[in-house]
Structures are given as structure tokens and as C-alpha cells.
Amino acid sequence: MATQTATSGTRWRVLGALLRPDAWRWAGLGVLVAISSALLIAGPLVVRQIVDAATEGTTRADIVRLSLVFLAIAVVTQILAVIVVWSATIAAWRTTNDLRLTMTRHVLGLDHEFHRTHTPGELIQRVDGDITSVSDFLSTVVTKAAGAAMLIGGIIIVLTVLDWRLGLGMAVYVGLALVVIVQSRHRAVSESSDEMGALGRLYGGIEERLTAAEDLRANGAADHVAWRFVEDSEDALMSAVRRERAFLIMWWFVQGAVAAGWVIALVLGAVLVAAGTISLGTAFLLFQYVLLIARPLEEVVHELETVQKANGAMVRVVDLLDVRPKVLDEGDTNPPAGPLSIDVDAVHFDYGDDRPVLSHVDLHIGAGRSVGIVGRTGSGKTTFSRLVLRLVEPTSGGVALGGVPIADISLVELRRRVALVPQEVELFAGTVRDNVTLFDDQPTDAAVVEALHRVGLDALAAAGIDRALGAAGGGLSAGEAQLLALARVWLRDPDVLVLDEATARVDPQTEQRLEAAVVELMRGRTTLVIAHRLSTLHSVDEIIVFDHGLVVEHGDRGDLVGDDDSRFAQLLSISLDEEREPDGETASSEVTP
């Protein structure tokens, strides 16, 4: 998964590709921004005319007419400003929402290994958080920067037309001001991340102590906690003061530039008016334009931060899009209908290091057989099941289903034919129906209800399948969640079933329901049961014992139970002892021979 950091070229290409589908919208937005900048420039020109007209002597009606024009421009400018924000925000969200979906699809298509090494929180941040930074950039910075550039350019053009020296002066002033302000900003950013760190420690410390509140109360720690809180607060105070100091330096530069603009406009106006080069109105125009330019100068500080954030986000987006899955979907052969045999031929598997997880695995499992897979944690039984599901590719050797090499089967077909009931069932924030169909609209309500009945979740079906379930399994016990996962399988009707048995303790009644549902489900399918408690393997045909990545035993269950020297028989006797331990509290649910 080694990825190179995206070069700025690819970054802009991705951004360009992103904007292309909405090109018209963005172009229209550009026109709106241009109009609104032009209006901003036009307003002071009207005032200039009023001043000049008054100097030369004019009628009241003339002034009223010009004032009404000015008023109209002021109103239209503000309405346009809202429209620009409105359409920029819509365009930005449309564009980035597409990117969000693309990214999510991409991430879901990545290997099991990728998801094993990236937390959901991190992925949310990269799929949603980073893209929101890009969206902020598109909706605010792009329009503001375009608007500011057009405004400044327009002002310089207008002034140059009036008198080239005014245009040149304004260009030099704006250029200098921007350079100084941008330079002064760097320190402020580092101080601000310092402050975030201090606040993080303060809040983190408070959270930690609230979590430990009972222990701390019981051990009389109030004074100690108060002391540490004072220490952490001092850090927060000092870092805030440092941040403020750095921001003030920036503030001096920004406000200094604005005030200098007033002074220059006033003095320059006086000198040029005295020399007879410009009119009184033009002198005042200079002042108004300095006022107008102050806003982009003040905003540039803030927006530079957004640019930097969006830049980092774009790099991460491109990096993530560059990650490629190892499991490729290139097959198109369909295995025969009905339950499938499983053939494993000389399979070796490791994670790219010298520690093999599976080695020399050769197995044949007949179509329609049910097989219990046992072994201690880390023996390779879960990895074996992932190979059959093609969540991972063997390092060497091959797996075939129904005689067809697994890589030759399309992933859609494979997912249709092979199903998994995981050890820990994940529930989604959604309705009961959503959780059974996994948000698929295809199955009918009747089919969903039927599936729930099949696994014994009659009460859930009766309460209505459009009832909402919480994300953390609100309203369902661990056992019920397991049953719900079985209902998912009922609905899919696969030909190969992998059951990763739950270790969660369920009450005896639910356990009986689970077992009954499982037996029902195994009928007519090839089933692998990864067993954590051996006592539940009553109904399987065969047993495979894994140890340190090797298959150490494979045979009919009946034969192995009867043979006192078999590994399975030994495991069985140990596990029964464990489960008989007093109180049943310390009994390990994991087989540990």
C-alpha cells in the first residue's frame, strides 16, 4: 500500500476532473462574480460624479437622479452577493458530494487488509472531513479570490484610465500590502496549532478524570485533580496569549496597511488636486476605493488557512484514490448451480513477512457437507475462511469452488453464492428491514418477514420491519443480532455458508434458538463453522483441526470423537472441563489446549 504523495499536477487534474461535470454552473458563477465586482466599482464612480457635479454647480434633480442610481447599485450588489454564495455553495456541494460517493465506493472496494489497518474514524475523516475542506475551499475561497482579483484589477483599470499615476500607485500599494500581510501570517499558524494542543490536553485531562471519577472520588483525589487542572489551565492560558500575540502582529500589518491607504489617498489627492491633475471627485474616489480594498485585505489572512487545509486534503484524497486492491474482479466463469465443493490446493498465506499464517493446506470439502473448523486463536482458521470468501488472496496455491478457480468467478457471482455470518454482527442505523436487506430495495417486505420468521425472530417481525434500530444495536441483544445476521443469509440463499461462531455469551434460550436456526440454514448448503466452543459442533459432518497454520486433522466428526487419540477428542475433553468451572465466570470461551 505504499503510495507516493500526489504531485501538485495530479492534484489540480483531479480538481479539474471534479469541476468538469458542473462546468456550466461554475462558468455562470464566474459571470455573476464579475457583475458583482463591476457594481462594487461602479458605486464610488457615481459618488465621484456627484462630488464633481456639486463642485461645478448643478441642480437638485441631477443629484437626486445620481443618488437613486447609487442606491439601486447598493441594493443590487447585496442581493447579488447572496446569490453568488447560494450558487457557489450549491455547486461546491454537488461537486464534492459526487467525490464523496466515488471515494466511499473506492474505499469499500479496497482489500480486507486495508480495512484491518485503518480505523473507521480515520476513514470517515478522509472520506468526509477532507472533502468538506475541499468543499469549503470551492464555495468560499474560489469565489472570494475571483471576486477580489476582479475588484482589484477593475479598480486599477478605472484609476489608470483616469490618471495612469493613480493606477500605478494603487497597484504598488495593493501588491506591497498583500506581501506584508501574507508574510506576517506564518507565525500565527504555528502558534494557533500550539493552542489547539494545549486545549486538547486540558479537555483530554478533564475527560480522563471524569471517566475515572468513581475511583478518584473513592480515593479522595479532589485536591490533586484541582491542582492538575490549574496546571493545565495555565498552559492553555499561556498558549492562548502567545497565539493572540502572533495574531496581533498580523493585525498590526493589516490595519496598518488600511490606515496607510487612507493617509496616502488623502495626501496624494491633496497634492494632485492642488496641481490641477485630478478633480475633487477623483480624489474622493481614491478614498472610497481604499475603503473598498480593505475588505479583501482583511479576509486574505483567514482564507489562506482554508487554502492550506484544502491543499492538504486534496493530497490525501489523491493518495487514497491511488491505493489499489489486490483482489481483482477479472473472472467471468459461473460455477455449477447448487451447493459447491471446496478444493484447496497447496495454499500458503502470509502478510508479506516471514511468519506464515497458513502453510501446505490441501483440502477437499464435498458439496453440501458441513464442516467444523477448530483450533486456538492464531491457528489460521479465520484466514482459511477469508480465502474461501476471497477477502484475501493466497500467497501461493489455489482455491476452487465447484471446480472453478475462485479468481475466475466474478465477484458479484461469488458474493451471491458464498455468504458469511460474522462473529460480531454489525448493525446499521436504519430500520429492521434495512438491517436485514442491507439497504437493498429489491427484496419484498414479505420476503424480509419470512426470513425473520425462519430464524425465530417472530417478535421482531411482528413489531414491524420499518421500526428503527440503533447503530449500536439499540433494542437488540447480542443473540438477537446473531439471529438477524442469519436472517440476512436466509434472504440471500447462498450455496456456501461460512459461520464464524459468536463468542458472546447468550442466554440458554437464545442459544437454543440460534442452534435451531443454524441447523435449518445448513441444509442443502456447503457450510464451514468456525467453532469457538466445541460443545456446539453437534450437527456437523466433518471436523478440521488447525494448528500453527497447518491442517493437523481432518475427518468425519463421528470417527474423531470415537478415537481417544484424535486431537479433536482431546480438545473436546479439555473444553468441557473449562466450561464446568465454578460460577462459569472465569471459564474461557476460547479453546486453549
Partner 1 sequence: MTELVTKHPEPIHDVPAGNPTDNVWKLTWRVSQHRPRELWVGWSLFVVFFTMPAITGYFLARGYGALEGGDTTGTIWWAAAIAASETIRMIAIHHGALIWTKAWIHMQTLLRANMLSAQMASGGLHAGQPVGSAGSAVTHFRDDTEDVANFVDGMVDVSGGLVFTVIAGFVLGAADPNAALILILPLLGVGIATRVLDTRIKEYRAADRAATEGVTGLLGDVMAAATTVKVNDAAEPMLARLAVLVDRRRHTAVRDRVLEEGVQAFSKGAADVGLGLVLLVSAGAIASGSFDLATLALFTAYLGWLSFLPRMVGRVLARRKQAGVAFDRMSALVAEQAPTNTVRKRRLPIDPADKRTRSAVERPERVSLERLDVSGLSVAYDGRRVVSDVGFTVGRGEFVVITGPIGVGKSTLLRALLGLAWQADVTGSVRWNGREIEDRSAFLVPPNAAFLSQVPQLISDSVADNVALGPVDPVQLATALRLAAIADDIESMPAGADTLIGPRGLRLSGGQRQRLATARALVHAPELVVLDDLSSALDVETEVLLWTNLADAGMTVIAVSHREVAFRRADQVLRLEDGRIVGPAPRNSD
Nearer to partner 1, 90 or 569 (CB): 90
Smallest gap from Cβ 87 to partner 1, in A, equals 9
Instruction: Give the chain's largest Cα–Cα span.
Output: 120
Cβ proximity to partner 1, 233 vs 570, nearer residue: 233
The CB-of-237 to partner 1 minimum distance in angstroms stands at: 5
Least distance (Å) from partner 1 to the CB of residue 2?
Answer: 21
* Burial class of residue 151 (count of CB atoms within 10 Å of its CB; 0-12, 13-18, 19+): buried
Taking the C-alpha atoms of residue 315 and residue 11, their distance in angstroms, rounded to an integer, is: 6
Q: Which helix (H) or strand (E) holds 544?
A: strand 542-547
Q: Of 94 and 316, which has the nearer Cβ to partner 1?
A: 94
**Pairwise CA distance, residues 588 & 113, whole Å:** 28
Beta carbon nearer to partner 1, 427 or 522: 427
Helix 280-322 × helix 8-19 angle, to 10°? 100
- Shortest spacing between CB 239 and partner 1, in angstroms: 10
**Smallest gap, in angstroms, from Cβ of residue 570 to partner 1?**
24
Least gap, CB of 343 to partner 1 (angstroms):
20
Q: What are phi and psi of 545, to 5 degrees?
A: -105, 125
Neighbouring C-beta atoms of residue 534, cutoff 10 Å = 20
Please state the closest distance from residue 420 (CB atom) to partner 1, in A: 4
- Going from the C-alpha of 73 to that of each of 36, 122, 389, 479, 578, the distances in angstroms are 10, 48, 67, 69, 85
Four-point Cα dihedral 479, 482, 484, 485, nearest 10: 180
The residue among 259 and 462 lying less far from partner 1, judged by its C-beta, is 259
Report the amino acid identity of residue 362: D
Closer to partner 1 at the Cβ: 427 or 517?
Answer: 427
Give 337-389 as a DSSP string. Answer: SSS--EEEEEEEE-SSSS--SEEEEEEEE-TT-EEEEE--TTSSHHHHHHHHH
Q: How far apart are CA 52 and CA 74, in angstroms?
A: 20
Q: Quote the least distance from Cβ 230 to partner 1, whole Å.
A: 6
- Of 11 and 228, nearer to partner 1 (C-beta) is 228
Q: Cβ atoms within 10 A of the Cβ of 90, count?
A: 14
| Residue 569 C-beta: closest distance to partner 1, Å | 28
Q: Which C-beta is closer to partner 1: that of 124 or that of 463?
A: 124
Q: Are 184 and 250 in contact (CB under 8 A)?
A: yes
- What is d(CA 489, CA 393) in angstroms, rounded to the nearest whole number? 24
Q: Is 79 exposed, middle or buried (0-12, 13-18, 19+ CB in 10 A)?
A: exposed
- Minimum Å distance from CB 72 to partner 1? 8
To partner 1, the closest distance from the beta carbon of 562 in angstroms equals 35
> Could you tell me which residues are beta bridge partners of residue 345?
398
| Integer Cα distance of 301 and 279 in angstroms | 35
Question: Which residue shows C-alpha cell 473507521?
Answer: 120
**Grid cell listed for 309:** 487545509
Task: Identify which of residues 255 and 395 has a Cβ nearer to partner 1 in the complex.
Answer: 255
Q: What is the DSSP letter of 590?
A: S
Q: Which residue, 167 or 247, is less far from partner 1 as judged by CB? A: 247
Which of residues 317 and 545 has its CB atom nearest to partner 1 in the complex? 317
